[in-house]
Amino acid sequence: EICRVDFLGKEVKLILVKRKKPKPYVINVSQNELFGLAYVPEVDEVVPGYPHLSNWRHDKVPRDALVEVKLNGTNIGLTVLENEEKLIRTRQSLFSPEFPVMLYSESFLKQLKGPEGKKIADKFRKLRSEVFSKYSDLYRVVGDYEYVYLKSEEALKLVLPESFWEKNRDILKKHIVFGELVGRINPIQVDENASIGIYSFDLDYYVFDILDKSAFTFLPRESKVELCNKLGLKVVKEYSISEPTLDSLRMLALQINEEGFVMKLGVSLNSRWKIKSEQVLEFARRGWAIQKGLILLEDLMNAINRGLEAVGREAHVDTLFEVVQEELKTDYPIEVVKRNYRRIRESCAIELAKIVALEEAERMVREGKSKSEIFRELNIVLPKKLPWLREWIDFKTEKALRKRGNKDKKRIEALKRRRKRIIQPVISYLLKKKIV
């Protein structure tokens, strides 16, 4: 469901997704100040999320800004609900979720092309081997490392003392602690040397913000540090710079080998911006694409993967499309995203169709059907399973028009072209997976 609400005098779009596991809840996946805001019916409680951070694009940085290092890891929130249940959440999921470790997943590493890409992929395969020899129980692996997921609750047991939840229950009922889970166990960013933000071999957890649940505002730096001392948690480092500028902070991020910084101008949910180094953002490559009005394939696929994580693999194409657009607007001008409307939406349709096609093809292989039979049947089965696909695949109408001869030749060709835009990438995917 998509709706709009007034938040601090500004209209904010919500994309609300219903989830049933491990218990029912509703969560906002729109990339804005209310990103991750969730409602849990069982306890009639609203659980704030951590706001989506936009890139700071101005040359000057306000002198009164608080600048803290932006660590390279996964955002994990800790709190206790009104019914005394502990809650470990990521930005897009509640209740002890697993989250994808893309740099250990073959589905991602195979996308790194060319000599440099291959070099990076090989480094992470080696790193994965070292990590799994010690911590394999922390992960869920699908296929031959096709997808790798880290179990958040199990990982945090290595970082938090056993008494953490019981000892700090009263504090955690009033606050949400937001921190970054970092370490070689959980690498996130890719840079040409595969070095930024890898940190120590083992896991660690650094708090970057604490939200007061009653006031719906963040604690100031001093109060945050004081509360973290009580909780026994580490805090991200603050940087004091006399005359900070966008360029000087980007340069500093490279010098200290960090992803970047978070700039804070107060305690409200819309008072945070991120500043990333040139190396991490890869501005040269992305800038060329923006100049041409294009979106890089790697960026598009990353946005779709994050979108699928947010809305689920059974989502309607337009729900996924809304989330993917918001993701892309983080790094691309709005006009470039609008210009690529059809490509983005069709790419969303293709990725959703691949999921169903994989299941159906495996079923038909078990039934002993030939390759040509499987490909032909997919034209009929996919729109049945995903009714919204009829916008692209209308095989029945196409066949009916063919029977009438050449009277509707132009329309037949148009239907065929539209169908092939979806079905051909799906078939190529099945062939690469060696399913058929």
CA distance 346 to 422: 7
Residue at token pair 């604690």: 219
Query: What digits encode the pLDDT tens for the residues 351-395?
Result: 999 999 999 999 999 999 999 999 989 999 999 999 999 999 988
Q: Dump strand ranges (E) for 93-199.
A: 98-100, 139-142, 147-151, 175-182
Enumerate the domain spans of the chain: 51-280, 297-432
Confidence of residue 39 (pLDDT cuts 50, 70, 90): very high
Give the per-residue pLDDT at 282: 65
Mean pLDDT of the chain: 87
Give the per-residue pLDDT at 201: 65
Give the per-residue pLDDT at 350: 96
- Are the C-beta atoms of residues 430 and 436 closer than 8 Å to each other? yes
Residue at token pair 């840079």: 191
Give the per-residue pLDDT at 129: 94
194 has a pLDDT exceeding 80: no
199 has a pLDDT exceeding 80: no
Confidence of residue 253 (pLDDT cuts 50, 70, 90): confident
pTM: 0.70
Give the per-residue pLDDT at 283: 47
284 has a pLDDT exceeding 60: no
Give the per-residue pLDDT at 185: 76
Q: Where does 51-280 sit in CATH, by number? A: 3.30.470.30
Which range, of 70-79, 241-250, 298-307, averages the lowest pLDDT?
A: 241-250
Give the per-residue pLDDT at 364: 93
Query: What digits encode the pLDDT tens for the residues 207-246?
Result: 999 999 999 999 999 999 999 999 999 999 999 877 889 9
DSSP character for 245?
Answer: B
Query: What digits encode the pLDDT tens for the residues 170-188?
Result: 999 999 999 999 888 777 6
- Are the C-beta atoms of residues 150 and 139 closer than 8 Å to each other? yes
Give the per-residue pLDDT at 291: 56
Selection from 170-179, 184-193, 285-294 with the highest mean pLDDT: 170-179
Give the per-residue pLDDT at 288: 59
Coil vs helix vs strand at 310:
helix
**φ and ψ of 304, to 5 deg:** -65, -40
CA dihedral 83, 84, 85, 91 (to 10 degrees): 90
Amino acid, single-letter form, for residue 421: R
Confidence of residue 342 (pLDDT cuts 50, 70, 90): very high
Query: What digits encode the pLDDT tens for the residues 86-106?
Result: 999 988 888 877 888 878 888
Query: What digits encode the pLDDT tens for the residues 104-142?
Result: 888 778 766 667 678 878 888 998 999 999 999 999 998
